[in-house]
Structure formats: structure tokens, C-alpha cells
Amino acid sequence: MGGCKDIDETTDFKPKFDQNGLITCVVSDYKTHQVLMVAYMNEQALRLSLQTGEAHYWSRSRQEIWHKGATSGNTQIIKSIQIDCDQDCLLMAVEMPVRDNGHIAACHTGRKSCFYRDLALDKNGDITLKLQH
């Protein structure tokens, strides 16, 4: 068909990588939809993820490709990847191995999700955190 299509309806893949060549990737549990973590991909990490079916990210701290779980065993099998309306964010649904203790751990702290602290306003109007569990 051709012609111009708005970025939010096109099926052309036109990812907006940021000034560091990265795109935000929200990672969710493919069964429960729970958000597990947020990481970043560059073009190579995205291609490796699609080609291998396992999550690869760009480690901003180590400045290198990060094959998630390569050392910890907490790999992420990719079930689907979606891109958002303005093509500057990815959502990836993954399956993770259940460890010996019965848990799934996407977070380096051993928790299933990196999001385990709730924001709350205290009496003084200051923002504090509450650990879940």
C-alpha cells in the first residue's frame, strides 16, 4: 500500500532509541501480567533477544550486553514483545524458572519483582517507603 502512516498505526518498526541508543523495556510475568522489572535495550540487545528467545539487555552500569540469567540462572524466556503507540517503549512478557525455594526471582535481591516498596505520605507530607511483606 505505501504512503504515510501515522507512527501510532504503522506496522513499520521505527523504535525511538534515546540519545544513548537505548529503549526502555518493561518486563512482565506472561501469566499474571505482574511487572517484574524495567531494563534497557540497545539495538543489539533487542536483536539478540528476538533471535535467541531469551532476554538480553544493555547494562548501563557495566556498559555491556547483559544476557539476563547467564550467571544467576534467572533467565527470561520471551513470550511476546510489544511496542507502545509512539514507539519509545517496549513491553516484554516472559517466563522465568521456578527456583528450588519455589520462588521466581527477576530482582537481584532475590524477590520476584523489583517493585517491592510502596510510596506513602507521612504526617508531615514527606514521602516514605514501606517494604512489602
Q: Which of residues 32-51 bind its own copies (CB under 8 A)?
A: 32-35, 37-38, 46-47, 50-51
Residue 127 binds to its own copies (criterion: CB under 8 A): yes
Q: How far is CA 8 from the centre of its chain?
A: 21
Cα(91)–Cα(125) distance, rounded to whole angstroms? 34
- Cβ-in-10-Å burial (0-12, 13-18, 19+) of 127 comes to exposed
Q: Does 84 bind its own copies (CB under 8 A)?
A: yes
Applying CB under 8 A, the site for its own copies has a residue count of 47
Do 111 and 105 touch, CB atoms closer than 8 A? yes
Residues making contact with its own copies (CB under 8 A): 8-13, 24, 26, 28, 32-35, 37-38, 46-47, 50-51, 80-86, 89-91, 107-109, 111, 114-119, 121, 126-132
